[in-house]
Amino acid sequence: MIAPAQSLSTDVNGCLVVDGVRHPLWQIGPDRLMLRQTVAFSPSPAELLLSIDSSVNRMQVYLPEGSSVASPFIPYRKLEDAAPKAG
């Protein structure tokens, strides 16, 4: 008998912050995302905020194609930390 999983997150929310404006996420994948409402903006840096069970995770990203109301998909790539790595 397999025991049911008991460690699922109960509350997951996210948004994409572009120029200080928060856009709620609909879906997110490893290299593209969808917003709940389509908006248009130029290629730019942005921030992904993911709230999982009251813990907020932030990721700096770049939107190489920006966003268009004609397409629900927004490609992104993670920006590496600017701090030098110890070594």
Residue 37 exposure: Cα atoms within 13 Å on the Cβ side: 4
**pLDDT at position 83:** 41
pTM (two decimals): 0.78
Higher pLDDT, 7 or 65: 65
Average pLDDT rounded to a whole number, residues 18-30: 95
User: What pLDDT, in 10s, does the model give residues 28-75?
Assistant: 999 999 999 999 999 999 999 999 888 999 999 999 999 999 999 999
Residue extents of the structural domains in the chain: 12-78
CA dihedral 22, 25, 28, 32 (to 10 degrees): -60
**pLDDT at position 52:** 85
